[in-house]
Amino acid sequence: MGRRQHVTSTGFRIGGGPEVRRLGFGAMHLATEPGPARENSLAVARRAVELGVTLIDTAYLYGGGANEELLAEALHPYPEGLLVTTKVGVAKSHPSDEWKLDGRPAVLRDQVEQALRRLRVERIELLQLHRIDPETPLADQLGTLRDLQDEGKIGRIGLSEVTVDELAQAREIIDVASVQNRYNLLDREHEPVLAACEAAGIAFLPWRPVAWGESGARAEVAAVAAELGATPTQVALAWLLDRSPVILPIPGTSRIDHLEENLAAEGLHLLRAHRDRLDRLPELA
- Catalytic residue list: 62
Burial label, 208 (beta-carbon count in 10 A; 0-12, 13-18, 19+): middle
- What's the start-to-end Cα distance of the chain, in Å? 37
Burial label, 159 (beta-carbon count in 10 A; 0-12, 13-18, 19+): buried
- Nearest-CA neighbor of 247 among 186, 196, 211, 194? 194
> Angle CA(19)–CA(191)–CA(219) in degrees, nearest 5?
100
Burial label, 185 (beta-carbon count in 10 A; 0-12, 13-18, 19+): buried
d(CA 91, CA 83): 24
Strands 11-13 and 83-88: unpaired
Identity at 168, one-letter amino acid code:
A
Q: How many helices (H) and strands (E) does the chain have?
A: 11, 11
Consecutive H or E run containing 220: helix 215-228
Q: In this structure, is the dihedral angle defined by the CA atoms of residues 168, 123, 81 and 265, taken in order, positive or negative?
A: negative
SS3 per residue for 122-140: CCEEEEEECCCCCCCCHHH
C-alpha 238: how far from its chain's center? 16
